[in-house]
């Protein structure tokens, strides 16, 4: 019967360790007695050897020295070796002290033995890692074979010479993965960093060749084939400067996303991608209170509406990080629903993922789903958001954004959902379009149901601006126009919008959802508004062209319902800070639920009749600051 591979490996490692520990004790005697061991000392050595072997291997076992994968030996493993050897030596010394008071034994032998045991065992483990890292892969032996089979020195590998921009922890982690993964065809030739302390130093034997402004010089000197930007957090100004230097060198460059984009916080080679516009936003990584979020989500049943959308799908990914018991994906579009379901089941196998192809406008279908799966938390991200489209068909905004939200609120109350988080928009503030007005009405509706005696559900609103890269964002539109050679159409040279990345928005929605006590509007810090004209020019340059030279920019005027700038706070809302620096609380006015429901019922009837004028007039009646365009 053949031994199992793991058991066989254990026996081999154990046998080698026996030889090393025996050799350590014998070498300790040699050192102590000037390499002359008499018969009496040899008999003492043989007498105590079994006890020492048993004591050391028991300690090695309890400190997990036989459970690690030694091809990945790390500092933590070396520390365990030191701990195990120290405890073993103390036990041995204590036993000999109390049993013989060291009569016939040399005290210094055990000190020398302790040092040599750590040295021998650590060196053996480290040699295993070095073997697997440099010699234990097919790529190495292919190179050796090519060298041996060729009488001349020639290029034996098609690996690209890679320059890493950045020399911090982030860059070091990327380097280690590149080095350890034989399938990746890269040889890192150096790092660049603006920190003067790092210049001339080495990371794992690879030098920091210069500062970032010297990219062009370093690329020529080191014969670089490709560059990788690996900086954990970088401002928009810094990223633009780095990109300018990279383009000047004429070498292909890519980036690793900032910490805010990484789902589990782990830097991996799979995250490498082309530089995108979101890298130019220069937003700081979001620091989440993961303990607070985990306390609300771990082991709970969660529902996300609009689960296939840009925000909804990212919310689902972020929620799964905190290991809910069950996640309901509520989505009307089948293809996006299937894609996010497949992704979540592959990446988060411990979470029960329930895809539901359903519409929030169908109240009966909605209630059946909530009754069946009993979600404890609902994130309501489903909405129609296309401003010009909803100006043409305002009844769709009423049916989905208002009536659909009302259905979900009623179902949440009916089945005692603990927490209801409504995802809103800055367009709800002093709205100039039907979409914004419909979202403001939905906000009022959510607020009016909080704290009612009929339900214990906590209703929370999270309001924020645009997200770069979402389906409805201008970024995809600009990219298509650039790909066609232009022109890029901008509505107005002075139009501005707030932007954040999709991962950042989703993370802050999760954080805000756990902070609210009910009835609040939680406002996400959107930073500084960005001119759409500047965004268009950045995207053109990012694509390798010059605006107004290679690609023309046309100003086409504001579309129906659009305004020059967006706001995040409306009249009567006072800002209250929270313990999270990127989240604020707005306290608005209370709303009369009965009066509001009556007006909304009229609005829904006008939507059924597709009466555009009455819909807009009623929206203005409910939201006085709304100025409709008839």
Catalytic residues: 427
Count other C-beta atoms under 10 Å from residue 205's C-beta: 7
Integer Cα distance of 617 and 205 in angstroms: 71
Positive or negative torsion for Cα 31, 35, 38, 39: positive
Q: Which two tokens stand for residue 185?
A: 């065809």
529 close to 493: Cβ distance less than 8 angstroms: no
Angle at 184 between CA 183 and CA 190, to 5 degrees: 145
Q: How many C-beta neighbours within 10 Å does residue 549 have? A: 8
Q: How far apart are CA 96 and CA 92, in angstroms?
A: 6
Whether 112 contacts 32, CB under 8 Å: yes
**613 burial class (0-12, 13-18, 19+ CB within 10 angstroms)?**
exposed
Beta bridge partner(s), residue 255: 229, 273
- Maximum C-alpha span of the chain: 111
Show the DSSP H helices in 107-193 as ranges. Answer: 107-134, 138-149, 169-180
To which H or E segment does residue 414 belong? Answer: helix 405-414
R_g of the chain, CA atoms, integer Å:
33
Q: Which has the closest alpha carbon to 286: 466, 473, 502?
A: 502
Q: 210: left (phi > 0), else alpha (psi -120 to 50), else beta?
A: left
Residues in the chain: 630
> Which of 582, 430, 558 shows the shortest CA–CA distance to 504?
582
Phi, psi of 378, deg, nearest 5: -120, 130
């Amino acid at each position: 019967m053949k031994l199992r591979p793991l058991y066989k490996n254990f026996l081999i490692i154990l046998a080698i360790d026996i030889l090393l520990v025996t050799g350590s004790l014998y070498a300790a005697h040699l050192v102590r007695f000037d390499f002359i061991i008499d018969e009496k000392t040899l008999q003492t050595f043989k007498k105590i050897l079994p006890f020492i072997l048993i004591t050391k291997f028991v300690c090695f076992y309890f400190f997990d020295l036989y459970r690690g994968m030694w091809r990945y030996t790390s500092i933590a493993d070396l520390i365990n070796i030191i701990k195990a050897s120290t405890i073993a030596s103390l036990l041995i010394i204590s036993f000999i002290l109390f049993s013989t008071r060291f009569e016939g034994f040399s005290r210094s032998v055990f000190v020398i033995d302790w040092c040599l045991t750590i040295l021998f065992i650590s060196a053996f483990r480290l040699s295993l890692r070095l073997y697997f890292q440099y010699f234990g892969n097919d790529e190495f032996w292919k190179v050796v074979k090519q060298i041996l089979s060729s009488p001349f020195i020639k290029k034996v590998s098609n690996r690209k010479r890679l320059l890493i921009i950045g020399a911090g922890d982030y860059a070091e982690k990327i380097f280690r993965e590149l080095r350890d993964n034989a399938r990746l065809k890269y040889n890192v030739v150096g790092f660049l960093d603006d920190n003067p302390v790092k210049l001339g130093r080495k990371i794992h034997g690879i030098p920091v060749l210069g500062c970032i402004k010297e990219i062009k010089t370093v690329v020529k000197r080191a014969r670089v084939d490709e560059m990788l930007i690996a900086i954990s957090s970088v401002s928009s100004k810094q990223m633009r400067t780095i990109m300018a230097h990279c383009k000047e060198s004429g070498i292909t460059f890519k980036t690793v996303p900032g910490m805010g984009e990484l789902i589990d916080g782990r830097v991996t080679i799979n995250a490498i991608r082309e530089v995108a516009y979101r890298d130019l936003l220069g937003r700081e990584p979001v620091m989440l209170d993961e303990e607070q979020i985990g306390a609300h989500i771990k082991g709970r049943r969660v529902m996300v509406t609009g689960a296939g959308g840009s925000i909804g799908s990212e919310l689902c990914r972020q929620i799964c990080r905190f290991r809910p018991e069950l996640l309901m994906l509520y989505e009307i579009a089948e293809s996006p629903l299937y894609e996010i379901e497949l992704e979540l089941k592959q990446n988060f196998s411990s979470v029960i993922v329930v895809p539901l192809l359903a519409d929030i406008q169908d109240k009966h279908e909605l209630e059946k789903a909530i009754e069946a799966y009993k979600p404890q938390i609902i994130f309501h991200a489903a909405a129609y958001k296309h401003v010009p489209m909803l100006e043409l068909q305002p009844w769709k905004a009423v049916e989905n954004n208002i009536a659909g939200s009302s259905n979900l609120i009623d179902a949440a109350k009916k089945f005692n959902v603990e927490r209801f988080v409504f995802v809103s928009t800055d367009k709800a503030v002093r709205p100039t379009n039907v979409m914004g007005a419909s979202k403001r009405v939905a906000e009022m509706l959510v607020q009016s149901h909080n704290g009612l005696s009929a339900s214990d559900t906590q209703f929370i609103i999270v309001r924020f601006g645009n997200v770069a890269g979402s389906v409805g964002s201008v970024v995809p539109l600009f990219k298509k126009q650039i790909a066609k050679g232009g022109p890029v159409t901008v509505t107005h040279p002075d139009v501005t919008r707030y932007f954040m990345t999709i991962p950042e928005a989703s993370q802050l929605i999760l954080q805000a959802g756990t902070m609210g006590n009910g009835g609040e509007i939680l406002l996400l810090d959107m930073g500084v508004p960005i001119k759409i004209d500047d965004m268009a020019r950045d995207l053109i340059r990012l694509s390798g062209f010059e605006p107004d030279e290679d690609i023309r920019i046309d100003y086409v005027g504001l579309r129906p319902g659009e305004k020059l700038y967006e706001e995040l706070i409306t009249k009567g809302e006072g800002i209250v800070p929270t313990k999270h620096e990127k989240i604020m609380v707005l306290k608005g006015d209370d709303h009369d639920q009965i009066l509001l429901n009556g007006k909304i019922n009229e609005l829904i009837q006008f939507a059924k009749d597709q009466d555009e004028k009455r819909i807009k007039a009623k929206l203005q009646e409910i939201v006085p600051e709304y100025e409709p365009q008839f």
